[in-house]
Structure 1
Amino acid sequence: MRLSHDEEENNLSLSKFESMLKTNKVFFFDSEEFEDIILHYMDTGRMNLAKKALKLSLEQHPKSTGLRLVQVEMLIYEDRLEVAQKLLNDLYAIEPTNEEIYIQQANIYSKKDQHEKAIESLKIALEYTDDFIDVYSMIGMEYLFMDNLEKAKEFFIKCLDEDTMDYSALYNVIYCFDFLDQNNEAIAYLEKFIDNNPYSEVAWHQLGRQFYALRNYEKAVWAFDYATIIDENFLGAYLEKAKGLEKLKKYKEAIECYNITMELDDPTSFALLRIGKCHEKLNQKDLAIKFYLRTVHEDPLLDKAWIAITDFYIRQKNFQKAIYYVNKAIAIDGDNSLYWKRFAAINQGMQFYEEAELGYRKAFEAGDINLDTFVLWTNMLQELGEYENAIEILLQATEVFPEEYEIEYRLAGLYYLISDTKKGNFHLNNGLRLNFRNHTMIEEIFPIMWKKKRVQNIIEKYRE
């Protein structure tokens, strides 16, 4: 790629400076060359070289305001704010209309979390600068730090009014809309922006994301399609388009889009997994499992892929293969609650209740405190006749779900099973109070309890 004249000049200056350091010869640079050299090293994190360049520059140009301002910037970077402030005060006395003084003053305020003062300083800078975009962007960022998203959005929009190709500002505008849950407002803004900039692939892509968030998948795919027409190498737009096509159940077209992403870049585990899911939806089982296996080969730690393989075989009622793959997953990550939950479900399907109970217990120990985990776990303990253990677990569950009828009905049934009628009655009343409509679940889970006259009498009171 051909370099611009400024880039060529900068590269020559850098080469000349680095040659000087190697040979210990002293070359002359004008002050602007030194500024570019120092800022280049600061931007690339090579602070030792930046400091050497600054020292030499001030020796050659001791009265240069521009170099002193670069020195202020370096001091701020190093959190030497008091020294930076003193130097800035000296520079203000010399050049009170230099916009860079107010910008660096704003940086000091910002470092001190005095964001309102930073904004005041930046607004003064606007009176003296020709580069409005950078100052508007800095004001927008200060408002972001203050969590004032509306004002931040206003100033990022000002950036785009100055330069429609400022994609950083466009992303920040959309971030503000997203944070404020203003999807419709974001769409209105983007449509207006696209009217004036119809070939902005980034705007089309962002428009698609807004439609997707509102579940308007037809419109989302339409917008992503324009983004890919404008830039046929726009990987992110193809991925989003494929996701939209999946939502529309256009699985063949989705696969085509995912395939394009793999032509543009190395195959990702995400794309491979989604292609597998699409093939499964199309009832192309051999292709589905082929892509699931490619996914775990590409990323052996991706839990969604192992779960997809396991669920695939569970749906086929092929429990032997399902248990084989979930065990492989557990061997890779034994602390993954989703793996243990699948392990439990498979063993439950094969009526291996002890193994199923172990799976639900391990899922709980790995951090799964979902209601269905407690319910399924205690179902297994009930099958094994371990009523006291089941009660203990459900009592723990009430700490997480204090007003859950499913837990109360189960506690009632289990207490009746161990002949603790008083506690059984107590929890039955709780369950009926919380949700009378679903009281018939007792008949399914505890048929003996359901037939008891005292249970029916309590139920009748709530029916009335």
Structure 2
Amino acid sequence: MREENPFREDREELQELLNQYERLKNGGSHSFLEEDAFERIIDYFDDREEYAQALEAAETGLEYFPYSSQLLIKKADLLLATRKYHEALEVLEQAELFDSNDINLYILKTDAYLALDQQEKAVVLLEDALLRFDGEERIDLLFELADVYDDYEEFDKVFDCLKLILEEEPANEEALYKICFWTDFTGRNEESIRLHQKIIEEQPYNELAWFNLAASYQGLKLYEKSIDAYQFAIAIDEKFDYAYRNMGDAFIRLRKYKEAIEALEKVLELSRPEEVIFEAIGHCYHRLSNFAQARFHYRKASHMNPEDSKLQYKIALTYINESQWDSAVKHLDNAMRIQKTVPEYNLAMGQCKMEQEKYKEAIVFFSIVVRSKPRSVTGWEALIRCLYKAGFYDEAVTQCRAALAATENKPVFYFHYSASLFAGGKMKEGLLQLEKGMSLAPKLVKKLVEMAPAILQKNQVVDLIARYKKGRKI
């Protein structure tokens, strides 16, 4: 019967203990309760989060077994649960007199010290305890110490604890998972590489060790090596979605977009779809100039997070690349409904409006860019080119002066300045500004030619450019 219904028998046994305990409390006749019976009764109330009754059971048990370190430890645990930290420490000191080799003493004392914001005491306690214990108990204490160092913001020491654990127990999954994060956080990639190479020598089929090795190579931007290590992890566990995810990132860094797409699509097969994966696949297609597929994946990401304006902006960029200005404007409108003043969005909208020959609207958007990023060359160039294309040459001249003042005389604006002056019929002033530009950065003369190709029909301009290109000045 016991073999058929062990749980039922356990429940009945526990119920009988609870009945006896009630009779004991009420002064009725009862069987003698052993120490372990009180422990079971305490656990019963503790599991139900009935802490007052659990504490009462602990105190009752201690009346019968005053030298029981186990009952004292359980009482201290309950005091911690009810935030009575000082009382818990007193009880633990008492328990230590009867049994100083119980690891729970140190773990509960640590919890109390941390709750009282006494991290230094917790560190001293655990470092002392590490000398007393070995095997699994030492591993438990190292994890505890790592948590204390985390709380104490001694992050390099967190890494040290995890490294010690893995040196003693190379297959410890919890430590392998945690050290990956702390390697990245502390930047101790070289140490991590050496540690995991050693683990792999002993355990060549440990996929987490291969993954951590790969992540450490990735942290050092050694992407080819990281990909090789991720492929070993995947060979051991073909459903290791995080390995595919990180490998996709490494391929993107190497500009191997087709391989990145393949890895990231595997992530979608193996795990719940995520916005960031669709966006990354979209980015890869964008780089491959497959704008339709880029849009498709950006849209999937956007459906998952409609409030992310950046995704609408990226969709717009695919249309800009195809010169589909109306469609681009629609998605930029969507982006700017969410975030109106982002300079990149205004710059793109200005570009679209300029291509649609809606120059006045374009100038408004470019002006917003210039106001928000006055030192940005890109914004000023876009505004000046737009004014030039619209035939507002005097205003283009004014903005060239403003751009030079705002950007500490970036040479490129002397070429825009000269083009605007030439277009306004001010040949002498135009040559003067062109000469300034040529003396500072002769290669940027292409900016003048892009704005005003016909300028090369003017002999004075051609002669000036030719003299500077030969390395002689007027």
Q: TM-score, normalised by structure 2?
A: 0.69
1:267 aligned counterpart, secondary structure: coil
- Judged with a 3 Å threshold, the aligned counterparts in structure 2 of structure 1 residues 231 and 443 are, in CA distance, closer, same or farther, namely closer
Deviations 1:341-374 (A, max 9, x none): 4323333444544433443555688x76773465
Q: Is the 8 A contact 1:39 1:50 kept in 2?
A: yes
1:114-263 equivalent positions in 2, closer than 5 A: 114-129=118-133, 131-263=137-269
In 2: Cα distance, 1:88 partner to 1:101 partner: 6
- Judged with a 3 Å threshold, the aligned counterparts in structure 2 of structure 1 residues 350 and 225 are, in CA distance, closer, same or farther, namely same
2:105 aligns with 101
1:233 aligned counterpart, secondary structure: coil
The Cα of 1:311 is off from its aligned counterpart by: 1.2
Counterpart pick for 1:326 among 320, 332, 336: 332
In 2: Cα distance, 1:392 partner to 1:30 partner: 90
1:460 aligns with none
- Judged with a 3 Å threshold, the aligned counterparts in structure 2 of structure 1 residues 69 and 339 are, in CA distance, closer, same or farther, namely farther
1:406 aligned counterpart, secondary structure: coil
- Judged with a 3 Å threshold, the aligned counterparts in structure 2 of structure 1 residues 392 and 100 are, in CA distance, closer, same or farther, namely farther
Q: Is the 8 A contact 1:360 1:376 kept in 2?
A: no
In 2: Cα distance, 1:258 partner to 1:405 partner: 46
Question: Over aligned residues, Cα RMSD in angstroms?
Answer: 4.7
The Cα of 1:381 is off from its aligned counterpart by: 8.9
1:295 and 2:301 matched: yes
Letter of the aligned partner of 2:220 in structure 1?
L
Counterpart pick for 1:275 among 255, 278, 281: 281
User: Which range is displaced more, 128-137 or 270-279?
Assistant: 270-279
2:30 aligns with none
1:354-373 equivalent positions in 2, closer than 5 A: 354-360=360-366, 371-372=376-377
User: Which range is displaced more, 237-246 or 87-96?
Assistant: 87-96
Letter of the aligned partner of 2:302 in structure 1?
V
Deviations 1:258-299 (A, max 9, x none): 222222233222222333333344444433333333332233
- Judged with a 3 Å threshold, the aligned counterparts in structure 2 of structure 1 residues 362 and 14 are, in CA distance, closer, same or farther, namely farther
2:187 aligned counterpart, secondary structure: coil
Q: TM-score, normalised by structure 1?
A: 0.70
Deviations 1:366-398 (A, max 9, x none): x76773465357647966666899699879967
Q: Is the 8 A contact 2:210 2:233 kept in 1?
A: yes
1:66 aligns with 70
Q: Is the 8 A contact 1:85 1:108 kept in 2?
A: yes
The Cα of 1:444 is off from its aligned counterpart by: 5.3
Deviations 1:103-152 (A, max 9, x none): 33333333344433222111232344451111112223333444444443
In 2: Cα distance, 1:395 partner to 1:182 partner: 45
Q: Is the 8 A contact 1:13 1:37 kept in 2?
A: no
2:51 aligns with 51
The Cα of 1:214 is off from its aligned counterpart by: 2.7
- Judged with a 3 Å threshold, the aligned counterparts in structure 2 of structure 1 residues 73 and 392 are, in CA distance, closer, same or farther, namely farther
**Identity, % of aligned pairs?**
22
- Judged with a 3 Å threshold, the aligned counterparts in structure 2 of structure 1 residues 396 and 174 are, in CA distance, closer, same or farther, namely farther
2:410 aligned counterpart, secondary structure: helix
User: Which range is displaced more, 331-340 or 116-125?
Assistant: 331-340
- Judged with a 3 Å threshold, the aligned counterparts in structure 2 of structure 1 residues 376 and 15 are, in CA distance, closer, same or farther, namely farther
2:90 aligns with 86
In 1: Cα distance, 2:13 partner to 2:272 partner: 36
Deviations 1:37-87 (A, max 9, x none): 57766xxxxxxx252552353255234533443443454455543333333
The Cα of 1:323 is off from its aligned counterpart by: 0.9
2:114 aligns with 110
In 2: Cα distance, 1:391 partner to 1:26 partner: 95
Q: Is the 8 A contact 1:409 1:442 kept in 2?
A: no
Say which one has the larger Rg: 2
